[in-house]
Amino acid sequence: MKPIATSHRVAAVSLVGVTALLLSGCGSGNDSGGAADGSVSLGFVNGSNTHFHTCLLKAVEQEGEAQDAKVYSANSKQDAGTELSNIEDMIARNVDALIVQTVNVDALEGDIAKAESAGIPIYLT
């Protein structure tokens, strides 16, 4: 693996960690309006569009912008098939890390293996 790719992965993993901290206190804040176009990319596959899920997305986008990272997001709409398709799309985008707010964790084994073989850390919430 190239050194620059490794540094992108480390930055993405750091972004995931900070985002996890944000999720513990999801509240109102500065509405960023989207993620910045940065050299690190993060995929976020959200499970639905409830208030909770919207809050998760907002936290990820805000932290992505703060860290100058590009955040790609997709909504699985509580459908396992859509979730798998969304994960495969993020793998095809070659994101540096992937967060999945799972709909059906039992159906993810194959996509987890695909992400790992592509060198993409995947975090399930």
- Rounded distance, CA 92 to CA 54, Å? 24
- On whether residue 31 sits in a domain, the answer given is no
Domain tally, the chain: 1
Q: In a 3-state reduction of DSSP, which class is residue 21?
A: helix
- On whether residue 22 sits in a domain, the answer given is yes
- Residue 39, pLDDT score: 81
- Rounded distance, CA 7 to CA 55, Å? 28
Contact 17, 63 (CB under 8 A): no
- On whether residue 62 sits in a domain, the answer given is yes
- On whether residue 33 sits in a domain, the answer given is no
- On whether residue 32 sits in a domain, the answer given is no
Against a cut of 0.75, is the pTM above it?
no
Domain span at 64: 3-26+38-124
- Rounded distance, CA 121 to CA 12, Å? 9
The CATH number assigned to the domain holding 60 equals: 3.40.50.2300
Question: pLDDT tens digit string along 39-91?
Answer: 899 999 999 999 999 999 999 999 999 999 999 999 999 999 999 999 999 99
Asked if pLDDT for residue 24 goes beyond 70, the answer is no
- On whether residue 79 sits in a domain, the answer given is yes
